[in-house]
Structure 1
Amino acid sequence: MTESLEPDRLAAWRAYIEASQRLFTQLEEDLRAASDLSFADYHVLVLLSEAPGQRLRMGELAGRLVFSPSRLTYQISSMQKRGLVAKESCPADRRGSEAVLTAAGLLALREAAPPHLSSVRTHLMDGLDDAEVACLHRIFERLGRRLRAEPDPSTLTSDTQGA
């Protein structure tokens, strides 16, 4: 049997799980009420809006969203039906396909962004001081790197950083 977590770590874990689920649920409810977009829709639109040419290969988009290929296919199909994105062949590689932001998708993002950011401020950021925001950023940057199996820059020595 696996050892239990120490009481303070178990309490931190449970607090994280419960609060993060409540936060995500609240942000999703607020987003849907203001825009009829799901959190996944919004994230796709943000990533495409920031990409060169407002397009990304499906595999890259799936990786950035942390979606399986089948989940991304379903998501993009749903968004295509609503005119938010298009799916096109890759110009450089006709075997692959790209998700492309449409004008309607960009408009939906522009309309959804202000109320969504207000919700993020209200339910998360306004309750944190600068030190807590910096701590939160450090924790999740490091966790993200570890989960993506990227090296932690703070642990690299000059001989392991490459030339």
Structure 2
Amino acid sequence: MRIGFRLRPRSHCSLGWLPKTSALAGYAARPIRVGDRVHTFTGALTDLAHDGWTPPPLPDNVVPQTHCHEYATFKGHRPADLLRRLGVHRVDEAEGCCGPAGNFGFETQHYDTSVAVADLALTPRLHRLDGRPVIADGFSCATQIDHLTGDQDTHALHLAELLDPNPGAQSTAHLLDRSQLP
């Protein structure tokens, strides 16, 4: 398998490499060529699934929280869509913003607003988890989930953690053609 793009595990980390961002900053063609090859983790897996990749067994029922950057910038590569494509039968997506808007929602003067936004979609899903895993690839989303649950047993997982719950137990290095990576 050859992977001919650069992978950024957090969607907000990818924004600076996108062609339109590079153009706004006045960069020349080289960053734009790089930007065309940058994908989020979800986007990369979507491409791999399209090419026939199948994941290890997944839970039948999950609650994903899509990061706002993925809604706004990486349309068509939402974790919920990918999870359905990979065979998860019930995907109970918390559609909408989780609340923090980066650091803004964790500042004392904005925290109540952050929680009120989360109460529109995310919090109701968290109250109905019943042991289902919560997927949140965005750092702000994962942190907000930890704040809202206050439960030591409920933590948001990155999609990579759902796919490989025992990292290090088995090497996956053989899946990558390292000649394509920097």
Q: Is the structural similarity TM-score above 0.5? A: no
Task: Give the helix-richer structure, 1 or 2.
Answer: 1
Give TM-score scaled by structure 1 length: 0.32
Highest CA radius of gyration, 1 or 2?
1
Give TM-score scaled by structure 2 length: 0.30
